[in-house]
A = this chain, B = another copy of it.
């Protein structure tokens, strides 16, 4: 019940602290409350090994190391990769084909989770294999037939559990901000023109989200709020572009 790590370097204790009576004690220390996924016992030697799903407060365990954090992984049960939940969310709002999900993510989902079609189709097949979604073959309005996916009861439960959880912070990769960081490397006019082009691109995005917002009512609260996020995010980006342009324009060179 207490697995020894087989790398020959383990120097810690390997005896079990187990037994029914001391389920909450480990080598004399009480287990901290904020441990979320615990199989039976925890030993780790570094605070920074332990993030996000499993939190252990500090190096109190430092010299006890024999078991690895990764041994706990299996206890974080039923965790799917994020894309699967993204697809479940898309299907929940409206039964969709793989093609439609891809388009939806690339248009509407621009600002939350954009992926290529080559990731979507395999993920859908896995979801169907796990019976979280089901498919129906329908003739295409134009073009070939497509498989329309819809939720199952199990899928709905899974999605609900995911929605109830907290999110990690948004992960953003935006090279443009870093280019602006180095704008003093460029002649003023080059910089100005670049930021104008960026602004124009976000203006197009903004208009898309505004149009989408206008199509929706409070009856479709979820999609409306997602569109609102698009509007607010693009407006903020455009406002920033304007500030950048102003500041650059006032610059001497």
Contact = CB atoms under 8 A, between A and B. Distances in A.
Interface stretch (A11-19, A137-145, A235-243): A235-243
Given A162-B179, A182-B159, A185-B160, A172 B112 contact: yes
A75 to B, nearest CB: 22
Contact of A232 (B171, B181, B236): B236
B175 A82 contact: yes
A180 B226 contact: yes
B185 A159 contact: yes
A186 B174 contact: no
Nearest to A231: B240
Contacts of A170: 172-174, 176
Interface string A152-176: 0000100110111111111111111
A205 B197 CA distance: 28
A163 to B, nearest CB: 5
Nearest to A113: B173
A121 to B, nearest CB: 15
A80 interface: no
A72 interface: no
A86 to B, nearest CB: 6
A228 B251 contact: no
A15 to B, nearest CB: 33
A177 interface: yes
Given A182-B93, A240-B229, A240-B232, A167 B159 contact: no
Interface string A21-56: 000000000000000000000000000000000000
29 contacts: A85-B178, A86-B178, A89-B178, A89-B179, A89-B181, A89-B182, A112-B172, A113-B175, A156-B185, A160-B182, A160-B186, A163-B182, A165-B179, A166-B197, A167-B179, A169-B201, A170-B176, A171-B172, A171-B173, A171-B174, A178-B226, A181-B222, A181-B226, A183-B222, A221-B248, A224-B247, A225-B240, A233-B233, A233-B240
